[in-house]
Structure 1
């Protein structure tokens, strides 16, 4: 379903609360120190207006030999920036891996969303409004427009 006149989906869950203030900062600090928590990385992407590096902790999913970034909060700033830049860096400690990002079509998301939820539901389940890893393909397809997913590919 690709309609050039359709408005961009706008689902976005704004950061806030103790979880964001504490949890994201702790995970980011540990990842910057070189300790990955359940596949965590620091995503660095250039701002679409400023050109400055913007960073945020993310969960890097490996599924069927491919790597993916899922935006559980929806159409966030990092999602908008990556759409413009086409990629960025995944950082852990002093290592930075350049990558290209390929956004998945909604029809290709259900299996990846299911795998993501199986791995991190305890952490991100609150952003999925009761939809879990046991949801049907139809349910996952129904929520897919609100959850951007990018395949991570080598920049080289």
Structure 2
């Protein structure tokens, strides 16, 4: 199937798929390890306040560092952590120590290069959430950009 057909099919039918029980377990383990500073260097425990409850929620995330900037990408799309982060405008990343960041949501026009880098770096963990391969053109990433929230982290 040509790549553009695959993109069209996946983006038109894209819906949030919650993590399986196995994925939840791995996320908890990696989140716990990241919080202690023991996970791979790119995995952090993201903490964000709930937009309705005010309760702090946490999840493991892969931090992308490129061109001297830090980025978060939501490979599963508009998840609860994304909605909470958008509402609060800030997150805390924990990797041993906690560090608070403000968020600058990326415009869809800014996302293709970031999405391509993210998929290239973390392919084994996130390829199943993307309808394109890491070697796809920036134009292909532009076609899917709206489905993938991405943020530049601004030190608080």
TM-score (norm 2): 0.87
- Per-residue deviation at 1:152? 0.4
Whole-angstrom distance in 1 between the partners of 2:33 and 2:63: 15
Aligned to 2:46: 43
- CA offset digits 1:78-114 (Å, max 9, x no partner): 0000111001100012x10010010000010010001
Are residues 1:83 and 2:86 paired?
A: yes
Whole-angstrom distance in 1 between the partners of 2:85 and 2:118: 20
User: Does the CA-based 8 Å contact 2:28-2:59 persist in structure 1?
Assistant: no
Task: Give the aligned length.
Answer: 143
Instruction: Kindly report the root-mean-square deviation, in angstroms, between the aligned alpha carbons of the 2 structures.
Output: 1.3
Whole-angstrom distance in 1 between the partners of 2:138 and 2:87: 30
1:68 to 71, 83, 95: 71
Shift in CA distance, 11/148, structure 1 to aligned 2, threshold 3 Å: farther
Mean Cα displacement is larger for which, 34-43 or 140-149? 34-43
Q: Secondary structure at the match of 2:142?
A: helix
Aligned to 2:100: 98
Structure 1 gaps, min length 5: 1-9
- Per-residue deviation at 1:55? 0.4
User: Does the CA-based 8 Å contact 1:43-1:55 persist in structure 2?
Assistant: yes
Aligned ranges for residues 4-43 of structure 1 at < 5 Å?
11-18=15-22, 20-43=23-46
- CA offset digits 1:34-85 (Å, max 9, x no partner): 1131400000010000111110000010011100000000000000001110
Mean Cα displacement is larger for which, 45-54 or 27-36? 27-36
Aligned to 1:4: none
Structure 2 gaps, min length 5: 1-13
- Per-residue deviation at 1:22? 3.1
Whole-angstrom distance in 1 between the partners of 2:36 and 2:78: 28
Whole-angstrom distance in 1 between the partners of 2:90 and 2:103: 5
User: Does the CA-based 8 Å contact 2:74-2:150 persist in structure 1?
Assistant: yes
